[in-house]
Each structure stands twice: as C-alpha cells, then as structure tokens.
Chain A
C-alpha cells in the first residue's frame, strides 16, 4: 500500500464522517441569530411603515387645510358694485338741560309680605315698598315737555308695635 492510497483512505474516512456535519454551524447561526434579526427587522419595517403613513396622513391634512385657505384667495367672491353711500341723517343728539328742581310726583305702594324679626330679635313685619317717581319739566328753549319715570322697589323691616 503506497502513500497515495493511504492518504486517499484517510481523506475518505474523514469526509464520510465530517461532511454530514458541515453546514450545521450555519444553520444554527441562521436559526439563533439571523431569524430573530430578520423578525426584528420586519417589526422595525412595520413600525417605520406605520410612522410613514401617519406622517403622510398628517401632511395630507395640512395640505387640505392650506388648500382650503388658499381657494378663497384664488377664487375670490365677486366684489359688489360700488355705489354711493346712502346719506342718512345724523342721529338727533341734542343737549337737554335738566332743571335743578323738576316737578316730581311719587307713587308709593306698600305691601306687607309677612312676619319678620329685627336684628335685635324683636317681632317685626316685612314691608315691600314699590315706588314710582315721575320727574317732568319743560325745556324753556324748545318748549318741549320731558318726563322721566324711575321705578324702584325695596324691602324693609318695620318693628311691630305692641298693642
């Protein structure tokens, strides 16, 4: 048996034993490292896709708003035909001098609305006063008559007198 025959025998022996195990390391690496990485990449891509869609939708909304703002400028409403302004008389503003002592007429209506107590706890009645003050005067310059009526309501407690 010469050297080459011996070497062939060794080669065949080693190849028959070790070749079936070739590729296992790669498979294990793919399984342990590449697949999780690809999965992660897939998730990252899905997230990136969602973010991109959100950005696109946002941009689309902004564009819609801008278009909405620009359209009235691009197509303005027809300007109404210019006409001369209608001259309306200025509001009547005249100074009225109220005399120092106008004629005053007062109507007083008092209503007893029920029992009450004074601050000191004494028995009293609650009285509602409905008052109507009417002021009237004549402007000496124009001879016009001015009337001013001022209604007022107030309540007061009136101590009841012992009988």
Chain B
C-alpha cells in the first residue's frame, strides 16, 4: 500500500531514510522542473535539487504542514536557484546554458535547430510562466496542481501556458519560414 505524503514525512522525521528516499522519488521531478525553470540549465537544476533534498532531510522538523512537502521543497529549490543566479549575476534570458554534449549528436541540423527554438521559446518566458510550462510538460501536472504549488489560480496557469505555447508557435513558424 502506498503511503501518503504526510506518513512519509512523519516517518522521515523519525530518521526513516527509506521514507525520505520515497519522498525524493515522488517529488524529484517537480523539484527538477522548478529548478530548471529558474536556472534554465539542466545540470544546475540537478545540483540544486540534490542540495535541496539534502537540506530538506536535515530540516524536516521545520516543515509545519507535512501535506505541503511539495510546496516546501519547491520553495527551497526556488531559493537555492535564486542564490545561484545571484552568484552568477544575471543570466541571459534567451541563451541556452546547457553544454553542447547534452544535445543529441545523431539528430539532423534541422532538428537541432528546432530544439534550440523550443529551448529559446521556453527561456524567453518569465520565471512563473516557465515554471508553469515545466511542471505541466515535464511532470504532467494539472492546472490546479500547478496553481496550488505556485500559489496562483488555475486560470492564471492556463493563461500562462497558452501564452507560452503561442510564443513557441511563433518562433517555430518563423524558423520554418526561414528554412
């Protein structure tokens, strides 16, 4: 039987490492999505998520409402991302920061360029919209779930997602037109 988040948190608070490992399993995707939305760099997102979960393990007692673990870890990820951005000064908004070897080597130039357009379109969004996009399309979260996590309304989530899709559509159509 699958344990609830509250039960897992309660057990983890009693130093049950397996329970916390289960929490990582469940919320790593959400944390990665939030971290990537903030940093726009997958490797940095991985580092931040790693750090956030280790901190969470040490600070579980400060979590007031165990059912809000996802919200809590997301906030921690967001704060760590902001710290990283401050340390690196301002990140350019429309550039990819992933190293070239993270791109598939076997794809055609056209597909490579298409991927870059997608990436640029996502990077061109504001932080909140980018979080909506990554949570929806990486974690398949509903508008309500995203709204709960981000503290906005589901309608606002839908609006931001729609705007993001249009932006991407424009970019890709321009690209197709150029090709």
Contacts and interface: CB of A to CB of B under 8 A. Distances in A.
Nearest to B115: A13
Nearest to B167: A6
Given A11-B137, A18-B138, A33-B17, A6 B165 contact: yes
A154 interface: no
A55 B28 CA distance: 47
Contacts, number: 98
Give the interface residue-count category, chain A: 20 to 34
B21, B31, B45, B137: which has the most chain A beta carbons within 10 Å? B137
B50 A25 contact: yes
Interface string A14-57: 11111011111110111011100100000000000000000000
B133 to A, nearest CB: 6
A3 B137 CA distance: 13
A13 B165 contact: no
A10 B134 CA distance: 9
29 contacts: A1-B173, A1-B176, A3-B165, A6-B165, A7-B137, A9-B172, A10-B137, A11-B137, A14-B33, A14-B36, A14-B134, A18-B29, A18-B32, A18-B33, A20-B42, A23-B28, A25-B24, A25-B28, A25-B31, A25-B49, A25-B52, A25-B53, A26-B21, A26-B28, A29-B21, A30-B21, A33-B57, A34-B17, A37-B17
Given A13-B119, A16-B104, A18-B32, 10 more contacts: A6-B165, A9-B118, A10-B137, A13-B118, A18-B36, A20-B46, A25-B24, A25-B28, A29-B54, A33-B20
